[in-house]
Chains A and B, each alone.
Chain A
């Protein structure tokens, strides 16, 4: 067993952003969180990561995450926020090294183990060659990979990544998803929000679909990403095909449009 969210609701400035969201996330699993803009994906992720007050509960192996200290939580859940902030021209190595912070005691340098984990995380996200470059001088896609390498270096059983693939070129989108899959085989649970339906369908074990703050569907991609579902949740018509690697979903029009 692993992460279980039970009836999580979040209210921000008097508005219900997430309502009664329940789902689970097992170790070894990559779960895609899908939904249109404003469906509450980021808010749900932030609530589970402990950054927002919420009702309901999110627990890991039976321990309620909200009752843990920030440090204890940081050793269990790594969260990659959607906003990509790198404030100073820090080297890529130093940015990734920040992921080791929950594991290092005060004023202690990096151990061999810390260094090995950072090197592995950089390799996984294909930023090893950039290690000595200032992260602020990299392209947006490269920065995205550096920041997720930081979250990977946190070395937690649960990784929550908010749109890590947006802004990446197709090759690196697939590298990223393959890397997340490889992390999952190391007994980690991965929750990743995505906008690319094909990417979600081919690389995730399960998808959770959100609409208007509620979870609209939850299950294997092939069972969930049906024409009816795409129409009701996203308001789109898509061409759905299959090949050896899985599903291909190409949006072709909006619901109500006559096909071209």
Chain B
């Protein structure tokens, strides 16, 4: 399949799922009424449901999914490692910790961008640590083990902060931060996260060409004129912005960045650079679909969407390890 056709098809899929996400929910609204309320106004209850409940939810699912799919593709290409993914290597967990720290220390009220800033700092720190450990002599094993350690550490610190918090309900929120969700978000959350995510995506897309060269190893890439330091900075800043900003408003959503690149890679020419856009679109589609699924499967008591992505993603991860054991390790 040609690159532009694949992207077009994925765009249509995302669009269809976005519409479905706008039309499906516990409030039984007719599709035409709800769309009219969204665009033109009208019945106030319908309008509020559409504009302030479903719209931010659908936008966040799309944007966070796009960012996760894109980051997965970038990290896999950069580390030449099919198991790299923001959730698995601990970036999402670290971003969660950063957000929780800001949230429960009371700093979140201090400034509009304090919450995402905390998540960004957590994400950036974890990417820097990972690259320091795994980029140079990057065996798969080193990467995954460092990721496990970082994820556990960040998870433990998150729990610690929540347990120490004076808020009696804080410990219930551990679930939210560790298995994220896009429900009950407001347009405020969208405005906090979206600009930062857009900036991150731009940086990541800009690194695509260098990622192609990385397929032949770091030394060959340097010999092809790739500026190593610049590429590393683009990847660190881009992943931190996309994952950090997303996690700040939705909590950690895992495995999207792992599953999607593997699903779309066979449809591309397999160059890491040409995988970026399809992977982002695929991520958006997957998270929108998963978020629709949580509304349909248990209508009364909604699951966190992070539960669903983990239910799909973790077995897939195990399958990848089994399949690739002879090739990678």
A interface with B by C-beta (< 8 Å): 46, 49-51, 69-75, 77-81, 83, 85-91, 94-95, 98-99, 101-102, 106-107, 134, 147, 150, 154
Interface size on B, residues (CB 8 A): 22
* B140 CB, nearest partner CB in chain A, Å: 12
Known: A70-B222, A75-B225, A79-B223. A88 touches B270 (CB 8 A): yes
* B213 CB, nearest partner CB in chain A, Å: 6
Whether A79 and B209, one on each chain, are in contact in the complex, defined by CB atoms closer than 8 angstroms, is no
Whether A106 and B220, one on each chain, are in contact in the complex, defined by CB atoms closer than 8 angstroms, is no
Known: A74-B224, A74-B225. A87 touches B219 (CB 8 A): no
A-B contact pairs, 14 of them (CB 8 A): A46-B219, A69-B227, A71-B225, A77-B223, A79-B223, A81-B219, A81-B220, A85-B216, A86-B216, A90-B215, A91-B269, A98-B213, A107-B209, A154-B224
In the complex, chain B residues 270-318 whose Cβ is within 8 Å of any chain A Cβ: 270-272
Determine the residue in chain A with the shortest Cβ distance to B205: A107
Determine the residue in chain B with the shortest Cβ distance to A85: B217
**In the complex, A106→B270 CA distance in Å?**
19
Residues on B with C-beta less than 8 A from A94 are 269-271
Residue among B213, B223, B269, B270 having the largest count of chain A Cβ atoms under 10 Å: B223
Would you call B189 an interface residue if the criterion is a C-beta within 8 Å of the partner chain's C-beta atoms?
Answer: no
**In the complex, A80→B221 CA distance in Å?**
10
B interface with A by C-beta (< 8 Å): 80, 209, 212-217, 219-220, 222-228, 265, 269-272
Whether A87 and B225, one on each chain, are in contact in the complex, defined by CB atoms closer than 8 angstroms, is no
Known: A87-B80, A94-B269, A154-B224. A147 touches B216 (CB 8 A): yes
List the 3 closest A-B pairs by CB distance, nearest first: A74-B225, A85-B217, A71-B225
Whether A83 and B214, one on each chain, are in contact in the complex, defined by CB atoms closer than 8 angstroms, is no
Residues on A with C-beta less than 8 A from B227 are 69-71
**In the complex, A147→B225 CA distance in Å?**
16
Residue among B209, B222, B224, B228 having the largest count of chain A Cβ atoms under 10 Å: B224
Residues on B with C-beta less than 8 A from A88 are 80, 215, 265, 270-272
Residues on A with C-beta less than 8 A from B216 are 85-87, 95, 98, 147, 150
* B25 CB, nearest partner CB in chain A, Å: 40
**In the complex, A75→B225 CA distance in Å?**
8
Whether B270 and A90, one on each chain, are in contact in the complex, defined by CB atoms closer than 8 angstroms, is yes
Whether B271 and A90, one on each chain, are in contact in the complex, defined by CB atoms closer than 8 angstroms, is yes
Whether B224 and A101, one on each chain, are in contact in the complex, defined by CB atoms closer than 8 angstroms, is yes
Known: A83-B219, A90-B270, A154-B224. A101 touches B80 (CB 8 A): no
Which listed residue, B214, B226, B265, touches A70 by the CB 8 Å rule?
B226
